[in-house]
Homo-oligomer: A and B are copies of this chain.
Amino acid sequence: MLRVCIIGGSGHYRYVLEGLDKRARLVGFAPGSDGEDIGKLKAALADNKLDATQYEDWQTMLDICQPDIVAINCHFGDHGLLNIDSLKRGLHVFSEKPVATTLGELATLRAAHAASGKCFSAMFGIRYKPWFLTAHEAVKAGRIGEIRLMQAQKSYKLGTRPAFFATRGTYGGTIPWVGSHAVDWVRWLSGEEFKSVFATQSTRHNQHNGQLEVSAQCQFTLGKEICASVSIDYLRPATANSHDDDRIRIVGTEGVLEVREKNVLLIDAKTPGVQTLAQSPEKSIFSEFIDEVLGTGKCMVSADDAFAVTQASLLARQSADESKLLSFV
């Protein structure tokens, strides 16, 4: 049975808890960042009746537990360092996104992964929601023809954020944290690589959250002259009926497909009006990651996906920081 450790409780450790099955056992957990609060993770483990050992220090934990897989979701600014360290230890790594928060760290991480021969994936788990799986299937089946234009949206309630969100060094920025999901959808659904990005962001009206950007937009160009806008905000009213308002509209030569309010809406060239597509069942990203580790399958979010989307998000952040159009090399 595979041995799993969780480092940190600041991200989507729930993907791990939901994906654990008889092939893998959680053996230990520890904070991954200075002063990280892992109280919610601890409570979630208790709720799920998962009996794992708590460690004060992740390095000690890895030394003692000798896990096969480590899931990393500490303060986002530490993801890169811990990912690199874990790969060098010969562990399979399931990382919260962004998988690094500087381009230099990302380059080191890519090299560490290439040298390791180990599995690596990132928590782009929204792909596995029925509405996104269904959108992907419809696009790949050619139901909208050749993609020409995409508009993606992430909108979150701000609520009360942990203190580490207020500092770029520990948080990494809103484009990499919130926006990278939408950056991932754009690349995954189009099947094209990024060519250039111009982005903008603002910290105004951030409710005293320091350097946290509450609004941002990115304009990507991909292969085949596909354009893709990504809109990001933390301004969804507290009164709204869900935490997030994830959307994408994909315009192709033979139709238009939208994901909105968990529906998949299609206008194609054959059928009058708007069709609401029947949805494929949800899947588990961590369960797929176990498949990949065991060699019995592939995780839909590959290491290359994780690296390319992180690079795109970091270049978008740099574009916004410098107010400059940036090309991908």
Per the 8 Å Cβ criterion, residues 146-169 of A in contact with B are 146, 148-149, 151, 153, 155
Per-residue B-contact encoding for A222-264, CB less than 8 Å = 1, 0 else? 0011111101010111111100000001011111100000000
Return chain B residues, CB-CB under 8 Å to A267. 236-237, 239-240
Asked, given contacts A202-B148, A229-B229, A237-B254, whether A217 binds B219 with beta carbons under 8 Å apart, the answer is yes
Is A205 engaged at the interface, CB distance under 8 Å to the other chain? yes
Contact B233 A149 (CB under 8 A): yes
Q: Is the CB of A255 within 8 A of B269?
A: no
A204 sits at the interface (CB 8 A): yes
Is A101 in the interface zone, CB < 8 Å from B?
no
> In this assembly, does A48 line the interface, its C-beta being within 8 Å of a C-beta of chain B?
no
B200 and A269 contact, CB distance less than 8 A:
no
Task: Using A198-B325, A202-B148 as known contacts, say yes or no to A227 and B216 having CB atoms under 8 A apart.
Answer: yes
Docked pose: A233 CA to B155 CA in angstroms: 24
B215 near A235 (CB under 8 angstroms)?
A: no
Q: Which residues of B contact A202 (CB under 8 A)?
A: 148, 225-227
Q: Find A229's partner among B231, B238, B323 (CB 8 Å cutoff).
A: B231
B198–A219 CB distance below 8 A: yes
CB distance from A182 to the nearest CB of B (A): 12
CB-CB under 8 A from A199, the residues of chain B are 219
* CB-defined contacts of A146 to chain B, threshold 8 Å: 205
Q: Is the Cβ of B219 less than 8 Å from the Cβ of A235?
A: no
Q: Are A235 and B252 in contact (CB under 8 A)?
A: yes
CB contact between A148 and one of B198, B204, B221 (< 8 Å): that residue: B204
By the criterion CB–CB under 8 Å, are B233 and A251 in contact?
Answer: yes
List chain B residues, Cβ under 8 A from A198: 198, 219, 325
Further 6 A-B residue pairs, CB within 8 A, beyond A202-B225, A235-B252:
A149-B215, A149-B231, A153-B249, A200-B219, A237-B268, A240-B273
What size tier do the contact residues of chain A reach? 35 or more
Query: Of A146, A233, A272, A324, which is in contact with the most chain B CB atoms at under 10 Å from its CB?
Result: A233
Considering only residues 199-222 of chain A, those with a C-beta below 8 Å from chain B are 199-202, 204-205, 214-219, 221
Copies in the complex: 2
Q: In the complex, A226→B194 CA distance in Å?
A: 25
By DSSP majority rule, is chain A's interface helix, strand, loop, or mixed? strand
Q: Which residue in B238, B256, B323 is a CB contact (below 8 Å) of A236?
A: B256
Q: Which of A255-300 contact B (CB under 8 A)?
A: 255-256, 267-274
Q: Does A221 lie within 8 Å of B239, measured CB to CB?
A: no
Chain B residues within 8 Å of A325, by CB:
198, 323-325
Assess whether A196 is interfacial by the CB under 8 Å rule.
Answer: yes
Q: Find chain B residues with CB under 8 A from A231 CB.
A: 149, 151, 229, 249
Q: Note all chain B residues with C-beta closer than 8 A to A225.
A: 200, 202, 204, 215
* B151:A153 contact, CB within 8 angstroms: yes
CA distance A198 to B200 in the complex (A): 10
Chain B residues whose C-beta falls within 8 Å of the C-beta of A155 in the assembled complex: 251, 256
A215-B227 contact in complex given A155-B251, A202-B148, C-beta closer than 8 Å: yes
| Interfacial chain B residues near A201, Cβ < 8 Å | 227
Q: Which of B228, B270, B324 contacts A239 (CB 8 A)?
A: B270
